[in-house]
Amino acid sequence: MPELVQISSPVEEGPFEPRIVAFFCNWCTYLAADLAGTSRLKYAPNIRVIRVMCSGRVDPQFILDALAKGADGVLIGGCHPGDCHYQEGNYKAYRRVVVLKRMLHDWGIEEDRFRLEWISAAEGDKVRTVVNDMVEKVRALGPLKLGVPQEEFAEEMA
């Protein structure tokens, strides 16, 4: 029986290490992550940061694509309400996230795998707290491992 392994997943050895895709806003959370670095604040190395110009730029397709391609969780970091560089990009992000959370629940994807946080450029410490907390929660959940129906199909056809 062929194993259900996704192409994008590296072969895992040793204990499970969560892979979390993080979309950080250029004007706040990305700078906060920078600040965490220059302040020598250590946080879990499990996030892969993608810099976007605004949390409002994070298309729900990006989130689903990340999860479908092997991410165990997705984190979005945006500016606090009222602080958006583009006036209301973060509100748009919030509106989409509210509905997407209900949809992820219906897909059977646990709540702790997806998170939106407001983190200003001055809050390096919050980056550390949020990332560490999320990594621990996802670690406890284990790998997401969305099934690959096409492979299941090949198996059933055999």
C-alpha–C-alpha distance, residues 110 and 129, integer Å:
20
**Is 19 one of the binding residues for another protein (CB under 8 A)?**
no
Stretch that binds another protein, among 18-26, 27-35, 37-45, 88-96 (CB under 8 A): 88-96
How is residue 88 written in tokens? 């209301």
Distances (CA, A) of 6 to 22, 46, 57, 84, 138: 20, 19, 27, 37, 19
Pick from 8, 37, 48, 103 the residue near another protein by CB under 8 A.
103
Which of these, 52, 119, 49, lies nearest to 79 by C-alpha position? Answer: 119
Q: Of residues 59, 111, 122, 140, which one binds another protein by CB under 8 A?
A: 59
Q: Summarize as ranges the residues that interact with another protein (CB under 8 A).
A: 3-4, 59-61, 63-65, 67-68, 81, 88, 91-92, 94-96, 98-100, 102-103, 106-109, 142-147, 149-150, 152-153, 156-157
